Structure 1
Amino acid sequence: MGEKLVAEPLTYDKWDEKKAREVLEGQSDCLDVLKWAFHEYGQDIVYACSFGAEGIVLIDLIAKVNKQAEIVFLDTGLHFPETYELIDKVQERYPSLFIKKVKPAMTVQEQAKEHGEELWKHDPNLCCHLRKVAPLQEALKDAKAWISGLRREQSPSRSHVEYINKDEKFHKIKVCPLIHWTWEEIMTYLHVHQLPYNPLHDKGFPSIGCTPCTEAISENDGSRAGRWAGRPKTECGLHQD
């Protein structure tokens, strides 16, 4: 693996698709991807975590590679109580990791005064921008790269994600170590390693976001069918160009 490390870090401004493809060519071990990422970017990479099942797996793996890694949680003020309780459990299990809760510029109440009550109902894209996209832009302003738990299996829009991606949304490098993992493998890892995870996953919530925009799904639904159910919207905007 060491001989494939590039002399000059890949950055958004110095993107080289061939180099990005070759640097992890043939790798299927997510730990190798993470080792490369932290070797490449050091303190200039952060993990943006929603604390879903994939997030807990990644946190456990990251802790094996960099015990002082920075974990960013976009605290919209609208998450399920179970999500906030899980964050406390994770911080207790991994005390050396730096979990930073990033809040939007406006509280939910201030947003309601500015844009109307329950913005997520009449303009969910704006709500996601104010409460997720803009806060992550601020959190990543000094970073060169960020880590995401995207998996190809999750949705058609994520089926072509690579380990190393040029992120046109935030003008960073986006590293996705879990692209080949299945949902079954994610849950098996959690159980085998006895990791804490959101109990909503056992109640029909494979993908967990904000309370107003997340519903339980049936076994035959896609993993993200419970997000913005009944709307054409499928992403919060963090992973779109």
Structure 2
Amino acid sequence: MSTMTDFEQLNRDFSSKRPKDLLKHALENHDRIAVSFSGAEDVVLIDMAVKLRKDVGVFTLDTGRLHPETYEYIEAVRKHYGIRIDIQTPDQQALQSFVSEKGLFSFYEDGHKECCGVRKINPLKNKLATLDAWITGQRRDQSPGTRSNIELVEIDGFPGRNGAGSLVKYNPLTHWTSAQVWEYIRMFDVPYNPLHARGFASIGCQPCTRATLPNQHEREGRWWWENETHKECGLHAGNIISKG
């Protein structure tokens, strides 16, 4: 396992290089590695990664509450790149117990954390426990409250295949803006979720996502009923931990 000094050096070395260069490094240095796929940033990474390795690992989280357009989009990406997408679903017993006790819309009353825990966090943790590293589409400007300090390479807050502190997270688009992401999508005809064309800047589960107005920050369309600044579901645990 690399030391923190190694990560500091990697972040310096790749700060002036292309995201594809960091992807190449990641894929060459880890056997058990996968791209986490859900949004526009992630499919940009898939587009870059398949040009480096045809059999690149890709996984996505099916919470059971996604928009119909998102399910169709996942299938479109699978066919477009001819890749296998490992679809992670919630534990059925845990999900059944949760909705039987609290109903289907409890998050409007007591917050989204518990529902996200059952539908997203636990399936993610199960997947990450099989990996040495994962690749995400996080950008610093996505959420000023929680993502402004993310690095290109860092140790993840979740345990990996070799236990706590062993999982490496790569964020190749850390320094990109939304405009750069969409420029890449247009330039290389990358498939994207049709909800983006209807004003959905950040897309999650259907009950918890809505379109944003002009000049609203993209994360304001997520869990809009909650009066809080940390718009995270918990998938990127280190973002919250690092903020105290």
TM-score (norm 1): 0.88
76-85 vs 229-238, which moves further: 229-238
2:33 equivalent to 1:45: yes
Q: Hey, what's the Cα distance between the residues in 1 that align with 2:45 and 2:107?
A: 29
- 2:211 paired with 1:238: no
- Any idea what SS the aligned residue of 2:43 has? helix
**1 CA distance for matches of 2:111 and 2:218?**
23
SS in 2 for 1:65: coil
- Worse-matched range after superposition: 82-91 or 170-179: 170-179
1:147 CA drift (Å): 0.8
Output the CA distance in 1 between the equivalents of 2:154 and 2:11: 12
Matched, 1:128 2:116: yes
Q: State whether structure 2 residue 56 is matched by structure 1 residue 69.
A: yes
Could you tell me how far 1:197 is from its partner in structure 2?
0.5
5+ long unaligned stretches in structure 1: 1-8, 11-15
SS in 2 for 1:129: helix
Aligned residue in 2 for 1:147:
135
Deviation string 1:73-117 (CA, Å, 9 cap, x unpaired) is 10001001111111111111111x220110000376553114333
Identical residues among aligned pairs (%): 38
1:207 aligns with 2:196: no
Tell me which amino acid in the other structure corresponds to 1:199.
P
User: Quick check: 1:120–1:212 contact (8 Å CA) kept in 2?
Assistant: no
Q: Distance in 2 between matches of 1:120 and 1:109?
A: 16
- In the aligned structure 1, how far is the partner of 2:40 from the partner of 2:8? 27
Q: How far is the alpha carbon of 1:151 from its aligned partner? A: 0.3
Whether the 8 Å CA contact 2:35–2:42 is kept in 1: the answer is no
Identify which range, 193-202 or 204-213, moves more after superposition. Answer: 193-202
Listed as ranges, the matches of 1:87-236 within 5 Å are: 87-95=74-82, 97-106=83-92, 111-121=98-108, 122-156=110-144, 157-170=146-159, 171=164, 172-231=167-226, 232=228, 234-236=231-233
Aligned equivalent of 1:21: 8
- Tell me how far apart the structure 1 counterparts of residues 46 and 214 of structure 2 sit (CA, whole Å): 27
Q: Conserved in 2, the CA contact under 8 Å of 1:150 and 1:176?
A: yes
The one-letter code of the counterpart of 2:136 is S
| Secondary structure of the structure 2 residue equivalent to 1:139 | helix
1:194 and 1:139 map into 2 onto residues whose CA distance is: 30
Contact 2:11 2:151 in 1 (8 A): no
Distance 1:48 1:154 in 2: 16
Q: Mind listing any 5+ residue stretches in structure 2 that lack a counterpart? A: none
Q: Distance between the aligned counterparts of 1:70 and 1:38, measured in 2?
A: 10
Shift of 1:25: 2.4
- Checking the alignment, whether the CA contact within 8 Å between 1:166 and 1:174 is kept in structure 2 is yes
Distance 2:11 2:26 in 1: 10
Count residues with an aligned counterpart.
225
Query: What do you get for the CA RMSD once the two structures are aligned?
Result: 1.6
For residues 123-182 of structure 1, the C-alpha deviation after alignment (integer angstroms, 9 at most, x for no partner) is: 410000111110011111121111111001111111111111111234421110001111
Query: Normalising by structure 2, what TM-score?
Result: 0.87
Label 1:83 to 1:117 Cα distance change in 2 as closer, same or farther (>3 A). Answer: closer
Q: Secondary structure at the match of 2:12?
A: coil
